Amino acid sequence: MAVNNPIPQKIVETLEQNYMPYAMSVIVSRAIPEIDGFKPSHRKLLYTMYKMGLLSGNRTKSANVVGQTMKLNPHGDMAIYETLVRLTRGNNALLHPFIDSKGNFGKQYSKDMQFAAPRYTEVKLDKICEELFKDLDKNTVDFVDNYDGTMQEPTLLPTTFPNILVNANQGIAVGMASNLCSFNLAEVCQATIAYINNENVNIIEYLKAPDLASGGQLIYSEKDIQEIYNTGRGSFKLRAKYRFDKDNNCIEIYEIPYTTSVEAIIDAIINLVKSGKLKEIVDVRDETDLSGLKITLDLRRATDPEALMNKLFKLTPLQDSFSCNFNILIHGRPKVLGVKEIIREWLDFRINCIKRQTLFDIDKKQEKLHLLLGLQKILLDIDKAIKIIRETEQENQVIANLMQGFAIDEIQAEFIAEIKLRHLNQEYILNRISEIDNLRKEIADLQDLYHDEAKIKQLISRQLTEIAKKFGQPRRTEIINEEHIEEITKEHLIEDYNLKLFLTDHNYLKKVPLVSLRANPEHKLKDDDFIIQEIDTHNKADLLLFSNKYTVYKIKIYEINDCKASNLGEYLTNLLELEPDERIIYLLATDDYRGYVLFAFENGKMAKIDLQSYATKTNRRKLANAYSDLAPLVRIFYLEQDVELVAFSSINKVLIFNTANINAKTTRDSQGVQVLKGKKGSKMIAVKTLQEVPFTNYDYYRTKNIPAIGCYLKDEDNGTEQTSLNFETPPEE
């Protein structure tokens, strides 16, 4: 069987011929809104309802509207009905719904809450639609044939306010998309009036921020909002509103971001609870009813609701971003515009509408004036007009004879010939021609308006003021400054609890929660290992680990795995990537880096370093030159405040001194100041706290000034277990 070889085609030409027409059709005729704020599907639906008399009449079944709309929109009935649903008051998707609805139309904030079938629901146009169709019959916009040429439809609606900014609109075309947020109607009108008066106006002074139908809170960043206003692109953050019911120990969420749904929020919370990341929530329920949205979270006892909500804002769609893309069709071409540019384009469009309407009114009034001027001529001799009509033998000659008898044109003669016999009296004719002067004045005013753009702008401003007064409503989305919002970091999501850290001689570190330690306090260590330090701290503290290589390692305690006392713990050589002969010799836990680290050296010097010297703005995990390497280290102390310490020399000299006499340094590797003077090659071999040396007379060894050589150890203070110089590193002070 022979196989036909396919004819090779150039991909670019094929795309241009087959794909580009489809792409342009989607962009121009389906997905991107135009300057009146509507996509074609919206406009066709609303115009159909307008022609059905639903602006002032009673509601009709949605199925009737859907069926009638198919004369303009060839798409399926369900596609048309879904468009209708979003425009209704019942769906809560728009700040100013265009359709007054009765029945179940679902909710914008719920994916599972399905709308009823069109045969069960009823609709009519909302009052605000008067502003959409105002003067539509006065040639304000162009009309085109529908898809089969049986009727005409408007290409745009002559909206008397910038509807493009007032109601949210989203569309996905081919190769581009559009996502417009909504703004408060009164603010939009004020901003437009301000722009009319001064094109250099700062829009943000009048148009505070977007206003979404779902309410919630907008986290205000002037930089982000200004970027959106200037470029038409950017994003802003929205978060839910909630209240804490103290009596029932639950949180009620009653407004959520426009960009999410009840189901998405509940699913995210359930997943967090199941994974163990949220232990404060006992139950989560959707209690949405006829009174509105409500998600209820039952809490465990002693849960901080504000801290919990901060977690949820970070981990769930309860805080979400609205990405703006103000892509609008302008004269058939998609353009991304800033707010001021949108207002300018709408203003140009509205000025053109008013000019067309004015021209229409001028033509109508001039036609009427022309007829009345003809009527004025027959007033001179009504009997003559009657005589001409009566003496004309053929009906088709009446018009010609009247034209000849009164020197009028055919249109005027036709008008006179059609006057009823009862109206051929002087009173009727005088009353009619008395309108001539008023008509001339009205025509002159209209012509003045048509040629004076400043007056047209004044008219638009008056209309906007009336609309704001008539349809304006308070903001639904509350504005909160980002400065008042606590930044939710990773640490906010970490569970905090008390624990103990144990450091062993063989470089093992145990992190044992107190709950676990009470249940099983017996430590497991290697045969020749022993604990050299233990400290009390909590899970969110910072841990500083000083090594014998003059280095300090920093780590968040929550980054260390919990273990039981019966476990060996973390091997620090691996955890911190230490050198083979490097050991950790001291632990220090802190929340705020207050206090000092005291380093005692064999040469009798001590360095008192401000703990802030170890705080870093970046998350550096390793700091070199943590302390001086000029002399061997004897001991490290953490000082919250100054204390008295006891220094021992190799020639049995003892000195009690106060650390207040040692000046604090900020340089980490400072060699410090001399505290214990050396004599005959002696060196400092130990430093202890007063609690570790129960001397009989402390004053004997005390000194007010340093450096000092100290006093010989008395016989009665020598030889005790407490003063033995073979000591372990004690717990931090």
Catalytic site positions: 120
What's the CA angle centered on 280, arms 277 and 284, to 5 degrees? 95
CA dihedral 83, 84, 90, 94 (to 10 degrees): 60
Q: Tell how strand 605-610 and strand 673-674 pair up.
A: antiparallel
Who contacts 530 (Cβ-Cβ below 8 Å, separation ≥6)?
A: 504, 505, 728
Torsions phi, psi for 68 (to 5 deg): -65, -35
Who contacts 563 (Cβ-Cβ below 8 Å, separation ≥6)?
A: 510, 511, 512, 569, 570
Select from 255, 225, 274 the least CA-distant residue to 318.
255
3-class DSSP state of 292? strand
State the amino acid at position 28 in one-letter form. Answer: V
Contact 534, 521 (CB under 8 A): no
Select from 455, 466, 205 the least CA-distant residue to 339.
205
Residue 185 CB coordination number (10 Å) = 25
Q: How far is CA 291 from the centre of its chain?
A: 26
- How many C-alpha atoms does 689 have within 13 Å on its Cβ side? 15
3-class DSSP state of 347? helix
3-class DSSP state of 690? helix
What distances in angstroms separate CA 245 from CA 252, 292, 296, one per listed residue?
Answer: 7, 17, 10
Strand stretches in 591-643, DSSP E? 596-601, 605-610, 622-623, 633-639
Rg (alpha carbons) of the chain, rounded to whole number: 43
Beta-bridge mates of residue 299:
281
Tokens encoding 29: 């005729």
